[in-house]
Structure 1
Amino acid sequence: MSTNWNLLHEKVSHHLQAIYVDVVIKTPVGELATILLQKMRITKDEDIIVSAAHNNYWDEGDIVMITYGDSITNEQERPLFTLLRFLHTYCKNSINNVHILPFFPYSSDDGFSVIDYSSVNEALGSWDEISRIANEYGLMVDLVVNHCSARSKWFDNFIKGEGPGSDFFFTADPGDDLSQVTRPRVSPLLRETQTAEGTKYVWCTFSHDQVDFDFSNPDVLVAFVDIIRLYIDKGTKIFRLDAVAFLWKVVGTSCINLPQTHEVIRLIRTLVEHVDPSIILITETNIPNRENLTYFGNANEAHAIYNFSLPPLLVNTLVTGDCRYLKSWMMSMPPAQNGTTYFNFIASHDGIGLRPAEGLLSDEEISTLVHTMQSFGGKISWRASAHGQQKPYEINITLFDALQGTANGPDKWQVDRFICAHAIMLGMEGMPGIYIHSLLGTSNDYEKVANTGQNRSINRRRWDYGELETLLDSPHSQHHKVLTRMSQLIRIRKAQPAFHPNATQFTLQLGNKLFGYWRQSLDRKQSIFCINNISDEEQAVLLSDINLIGTDVWINLITREEITDVGGFIQLKPYQTLWISNQDIE
């Protein structure tokens, strides 16, 4: 028997003891650990992979494109095939990882109410198409771990009181003290459900079609480990743990970020890294910044966490022309230790979350941002506060339209402002995630909002491939301009060692109209000064303020212009970016 297997079994048992410390479970912890290892096909007879916690399984070349399986369609082919064709045609030299949002059969929430975790939605394609994409790109897949569809077989069995799933769901009593529960929605928390065993009240964090699992039942954990192994077999390299902060519930608490939730993530980390050390876990925790940071653990939980505070702070910066809050936040962010990194994004299939701006922007500033976005055609989604008040939870708008102007109204700088936002993100410490509609410069889809009645639909347009192709090939269209400039920035970024996700980052003090930071490669050979004019007026940067070393040759990587006077100044146009480097790497 492998000694490594025994040590791994002991480690898994330790995780399980911590998870179920307050729960009486039928299966002994040691036996449960054996079951989980069997589900992951980690056997006693094989050499056990020993993973190093502080290895970086990513570099400056990693860019993730976020998309639905049917964001682009063609009547003649399955959407997943069309997606692959789009990637080949327009993204071959820029994108190397693809996050396909839930591609399983579902009943609501555009895929996040999963009916069957083990199959591909036939309207999109099959596992064959998924495998083709996984063979050419790093595949990122959602593990929708907090809840499933009320139309799933598991929930049918819960209602019947028999079969797999009959005891998978969390219930509470309407008389319980639920006043502390953190809610991302304003819908009632409990769903009254008639079952074979009488009336039960099922916990629904998000909607009554999304019924929450009860992870205090180990069978739920076993089922999800089975699912994880299936996704690995299908080529998954990155797991996005959806809404994972809500996973463990204890009545009388906030039911968010509980210790057992963190321990479940540590367990999943232990299991997947002993199958393939290069598999990455990313936690999707749309919560205040301080709480979000805890999901790194001690390099033993998430490999990456969503940098949720970045979208509201960056949009606020660009519409106010004032970077003080973005700068303060960046200075407060701890460097991610090796083996962990930030997952940076500024647009997603959801919207611009406002909870991660709490404590970073005042209520008044958030209110101003909300009103500005509404004036640009944005919608607002609400949540219930602890005192029953409705508070803005999320701004629903395409990023392209969110940056169409400033707090004073729309202006002529929309494309430049939009590119500036991405230049800031692409240069920052962390791995960039770019929503497909940001690559395409997509505007608000009001027709889809009207058809679905859902605010989030505004940023979930479904493009016809032929129409999109015409626009992308037209030099005068916003879509061509955006894709061309975005692709250029991405290609430059991918070649720079100083843009490694874990390279050193230092915030520059250049006033409130210029947002800047310095990056240095891990081998300390390359430095890049990233300076961005975040205002609608020209700004001068004094090169003496950033202390360029006079013996080095400095070049602006974006324009290819050499900096000849390191003691002079450069005039920046509105929303212009400089990437000043001492190494000319193309």
Structure 2
Amino acid sequence: MPATGHVVFAILGDVHPDDPAARLDERVDTWRPDLVRSIGRVWPDRTAAEHAELADRLVAVARAGYAGRPADLRALDERRLAEPDWFQRPDMLGYAAYADRFGGTLAGVAEHTGHLRDLGVTYLHLMPLLTPRPAPNDGGYAVADYRSVRPDLGDVEDLRDLATTLRGEGISLCLDLVLNHVAREHAWAAAARAGDADKRAYFHIHPDRSVPDAFEATVPEVFPDFAPGSFTWDDEVDGWVWTTFHDYQWDLDWGNPDVVCEFAEIVCFLANLGVEVLRLDAIAFLWKRLGTSCQNQPEVHDLTRILRTVARIACPALLFKAEAIVGPADLPAYLGVGDNAGRVSDLAYHNSLMVQLWSMLASRDVRLAAVALQQLPQPPAITSWLTYARCHDDIGWAIDDTDAWRAGLEGAAHRRFLSDWYAGVFPGSWARGLVFQDNPATGDRRISGSLASLAGLESGDPGAVDRILLVHAVILGFGGLPVLWMGDEVGLLNDLGWADDPAHAGDNRWVHRPRMPWDGDRPVVPPGAEPVAAGVRHLLRTRAALPHLHAAHPTETWDPRDPGVLLVVRRAPEGPLLLAANVTDEERWVADDVLHWLGLHSPRLTDAITGARPELRDGAVRLAPYQCAWLYAARG
């Protein structure tokens, strides 16, 4: 059932059905005011005439993008406009992988679509595959050319063919669009180094340390071990270049309208290859403001809105996904708050849920998670959280000190505990992770490791399989678009040979990026992980049939009755669904008052996961150690 906020899109899809030019004009008329409004907020010191001129430039980019859009993708636009909730439905399932580690090449990925189809995958995120600089290149995030593909993977036509193949299987292709920076070898940076004044203005370049020092007083280091500081001296440009991540990644100046127009063209180019979702990488860092952390500034959201508006005109089937791994207080803005509600990204990572999942398992206590998750407002009804337990990156302990205090914890101490626990050095820990980027100055210690190894399968802990399935049940039952990281569906362990490749030897995140072991078109299941593979498939099938898990329905995190049981309620027209997760290794109970409040104290009470009536004692529902139940009142 489409969300109410999508009505305008559905109407536009029905205007002049046999006249594409008229439909394009309708979209321009609808969305151009959004461009002007957003431009005015990003550049308030410019005149109305300048705002209008930039809006005209961007509309021209959108028109050109639509003119070059293949007929089959224009048809996809119309279908998406008619079914605007397509990405919110409970049968949506995401999967993320490196193309070379999943299939070797783009053509190899296409050969393994049978596995994705059998899982029920409808969204495939392939990690950076546009041409990067030579190694080191931050795992592909130092892009040297947005319009070509890594030669070892194929070429642009192979990418187009893969997108077409996936679309034929009902799978939408997601690619990374790195926004904050380009490789030093990118044509723009090369021109700046060669003396091109226009391209030099694409970057933050300073002749001496006065401005960099002023910014560095408040800007935190992202990779203190790899790349201390945020500026790098470059002899060729005779200046200090802003380099947030690595010295070979040059931050772009998004205050320059030419940069915005360049990326608007890139968005249309990738969409016209058949890419249906763009992951906006490092989006939190786009806007620089003295005296701040230079993250999560308001202009970030208006810049996103500008690019999204161009896409709504030129290629409305395209979704934007915000890669904003930020604190809970800053997260909602990436799906839109206030005037931006529903007008920036369509998807955003629910990083807080991921962090709290691992926190609950280590502490065997849900009270911090309940406090933290309750702080997040409902996302706009036409957007969706993207839920996940692991991704390609490390786990940073984004736990708010105030949330920790409310739960009776000291934030820094709890973060230290989590790092120690998942590094396997805390007494009694079953986890086998690696510390990533230990920063003694800030106490920041992140963790690398596969889901199965972090949950205890590598150490042989008897509760590991149940913990792994609990984690999947929570991300699948929370609401939103769940995404599996490659190999988690079969319980792949840490890659113990992660450092054998010299290009990766200094980055232990490759420990959870193993190559997929194939036996024909089926992944090899590690010994002892057979129950993981079977259990995950069962959860995926069960989720797809539950209308309660449509992303437009609100999610409520309830105060816990038992500190070991997480309570999450999904409110749907079909009635409520209660996710109850026992994060301990002991038997626990869902209190009868919870069922009464939800109207679930009924003979029809069913656990969707088991398909059976749950065991009751004095009106309370029994949960086995590490059990997650999806409780609802079955019809009939």
> Which moved further from structure 2: 500-509 or 3-12?
3-12
Kept after mapping to 2: 8 A contact 1:471/1:480? no
Mapping 1:448-487, distance limit 5 Å: 448-451=498-501, 452=504, 453-466=506-519, 469=522, 471-472=524-525, 477-487=527-537
Does the C-alpha gap of structure 1 residues 478 and 231 become closer, same or farther in structure 2, counting only changes over 3 Å?
A: farther
The superposition leaves residues 486-508 of structure 1 with CA deviations (integer Å, 9 ceiling, x where unpaired) of 11101111110111112233334
Q: Secondary structure at the match of 1:364?
A: helix
The aligned runs of 1:378-457 (5 Å cut-off) are 378-382=433-437, 389-392=441-444, 394-404=446-456, 411-451=461-501, 452=504, 453-457=506-510
Say if 1:461 and 1:468 are closer, same or farther in 2 by CA, change over 3 A: farther
For 2:306, which of 267, 271, 274 is the aligned residue? 267
- Matches of 2:302 and 2:593, distance apart in 1: 49
- Residue identity in the other structure for 1:32: L
The 3-state SS of whatever aligns with 1:290 is coil
Report deviation, 1:480.
3.6
Question: Which shows bigger deviation, 183-192 or 367-376?
Answer: 183-192
Residue 588 of structure 2 is aligned to residue 527 of structure 1: no
For 1:91 and 1:369, the matched residues in 2 are separated by: 36
Amino acid at match of 2:534: T
Q: Residue 142 of structure 1 aligns to a residue in which SS?
A: strand
Partner of 2:106 in structure 1?
Answer: 80
1:306 paired with 2:329, answer: no
Match of 2:190 among 143, 152, 156: 156
Counterparts of 2:27 and 2:351, CA distance in 1: 38
Distance 1:218 1:337, change over 3 A: closer
1:286-329 CA-to-partner distances (Å, cap 9, x unmatched) read: 22110112222222222222111122211110122111111222
Residue equivalent to 1:540: 589
Q: Does 1:193 align with 2:242?
A: no
How far apart, CA to CA, are the structure 2 residues paired with 1:542 and 1:252? 49
Partner in structure 2 of residue 132 of structure 1: 165
Further displaced range: 486-495 or 561-570: 561-570
CA distance in structure 1 between the aligned counterparts of 2:423 and 2:344, rounded to whole angstroms: 38
**Aligned residue number for residue 427 of structure 2:** none
8 Å contact from structure 2 (residues 129, 150) kept in 1: yes
Asked if residue 294 in structure 1 is aligned to residue 333 in structure 2, the reply is: yes
Instruction: Give the direction of change, closer, same or farther, for the CA distance of 1:516–1:160 in structure 2 (3 Å limit).
Output: same
Residue 572 of structure 1 is aligned with which of 601, 615, 623?
Answer: 623
The one-letter code matched in structure 2 to 1:514 is V
> Partner of 2:218 in structure 1?
180
Q: Residue in 1 aligned with 2:257?
A: 218
Write the letter of the residue equivalent to 2:173.
L
Deviation of 1:98 (Å): 0.6
Write the distance in 2 (CA, Å) between the matches of 1:431 and 1:44: 28
CA contact (8 A) 1:64 1:98 kept: yes
In the alignment, is residue 321 of structure 1 matched against residue 364 of structure 2?
A: yes
Give the secondary-structure state (helix, strand or coil) at the position aligned to 1:226. Answer: helix
Distance in 1, matches of 2:266 and 2:613, equals: 53
Contact 1:60–1:495, Cα closer than 8 Å, also in 2:
yes
Aligned residue type for 2:580: I
Query: Which residue is equivalent to 2:605?
Result: 554
Counterparts of 1:540 and 1:551, CA distance in 2: 17
SS at match of 1:241: strand
After TM superposition, give the deviation of residue 149 of structure 1 in Å: 1.2
Letter in 1 for 2:352: S
* Counterpart-to-counterpart distance in 1, 2:471 and 2:323: 22
Query: Counterpart in 1 of 2:564?
Result: 513
Is the aligned partner of 1:66 residue 2:100? Answer: no
Residue 363 of structure 1 corresponds to 412
Q: Report the equivalent of 1:101.
A: 127
Corresponding residue for residue 61 of structure 2: 39
Give 1:120 deviation, angstroms: 1.5
Give 1 or 2: higher helix fraction. 2
**Offset of residue 464 of structure 1:** 4.0
SS at match of 2:300: helix
For normalisation by structure 2, the TM-score amounts to: 0.82
Amino acid at match of 2:554: T
Once the 2 structures are TM-superposed, how far is the Cα of residue 273 of structure 1 from its aligned partner?
A: 2.0
Q: Secondary structure at the match of 1:60?
A: coil
Q: Counterpart amino acid of 1:460?
A: R
Q: Distance in 2 between matches of 1:564 and 1:373?
A: 33
Distance change (3 Å), C-alpha of 1:300 and 1:316? same
CA distance in 2 between counterparts of 1:224 and 1:211 reads 15
1:204–1:564 CA distance, 2 compared to 1 (3 A): closer
| Segment of structure 1 superposing worse, 28-37 or 107-116 | 28-37
Encode CA deviations 1:73-114: one digit per residue, 9 max, x unaligned.
4xxxx5223323333135434211111111111131111111
Q: Which residue of 2 aligns with 1:341?
A: 384
| 2:297 corresponds to 1:258 | yes
Letter of the 2:254 partner, please give it: F
- The one-letter amino acid of 2:107's match is F
CA distance in 1, matches of 2:603, 2:251: 58
Q: 1:210 to 1:135 in 2, by over 3 A?
A: farther
What is the identity, as a one-letter code, of the residue corresponding to 1:64? G
Structure 1 position 484, deviation (Å): 2.0
Q: Provide the secondary structure at the position in 2 that maps to 1:338.
A: coil
Q: Distance in 2 between matches of 1:259 and 1:470?
A: 44
Distance 1:514 1:273, change over 3 A: same
Query: Could you say which residue in structure 2 is the equivalent of 1:121?
Result: 150
C-alpha separation in 2, matches of 1:192 and 1:135: 49
Question: Match for 1:492: what amino acid?
Answer: T
1:119 match: secondary structure: strand
- When residues 468 and 480 of structure 1 are mapped into structure 2, their CA distance, relative to the original with a 3 A threshold, is farther
Aligned length: 567
Task: Kindly indicate whether the alpha-carbon contact (under 8 Å) linking 2:142 and 2:181 is maintained by their aligned counterparts in 1.
Answer: yes
Aligned residues with identical type, % of pairs: 22
Question: Residue 125 of structure 2: SS of its match in structure 1?
Answer: strand
- Per the alignment, in what secondary structure is the counterpart of residue 517 of structure 1? strand
- 1:247-274 deviations in whole A, cap 9, x for unaligned? 1223444322222222101112222223
Distance (whole Å) between structure 2 residues aligned to residue 383 and residue 204 of structure 1: 20
Go from structure 1 to structure 2 and tell me whether the alpha carbon gap of 1:365 and 1:94 turns closer, same or farther (over 3 Å shift). Answer: same
Q: 1:529 to 1:393 in 2, by over 3 A?
A: same
How far apart are residue 402 of structure 1 and its match?
1.2
Q: Is the contact made by 2:65 and 2:269 (CA closer than 8 Å) also made in structure 1?
A: no
The DSSP-based 3-state class of the residue aligned with 1:222 is helix
Report the Cα distance in structure 2 between the residues aligned to 1:310 and 1:16, rounded to whole angstroms.
Answer: 33
1-side partners of 2:591 and 2:35: how far apart? 56
1:146 is aligned to 2:180? yes
1:14 paired with 2:37, answer: yes
CA offsets, 1:340-396, max 9 Å, x none?
Answer: 221111200002122355544411111011011111342223376xxx924315211
